[in-house]
Amino acid sequence: MATVVELPLETYKGRVNPDWCPGCGDFGVLRTLQRAAGKLGIHPKDLMVVSGIGCSSNLPGYIHAYGFTACTAALWRRLLA
């Protein structure tokens, strides 16, 4: 089995800081996603984040990875099929 090299959380820090309301659960989702990707050794170039609508739709902008909203991802899937 291949050896997994954990990556630091800073690897996934986006260029923009989240502007969610204080205490919003989206902060926990972002942090958990960053931790999971780091522990699995997934490089940002190999990570794609797809979000829904509402406040959580900003999630791809706050993590250093490829990001799309669900509508955009569905469109690309349709175009590439």
Q: Kindly report the pTM of this predicted structure.
A: 0.78
**String of DSSP letters for 22-33:** TT-THHHHHHHH
CA 47 distance to own-chain centroid: 7
Cα–Cα distance, 9 to 13 (Å, whole number):
7
- The DSSP element (H or E) to which 75 belongs, if any, is helix 70-80
Average pLDDT over residues 44-64: 87
pLDDT confidence of residue 51: 85
Average pLDDT, the chain: 87
- Examine the pLDDT at 30 and tell me if it is beyond 80: yes
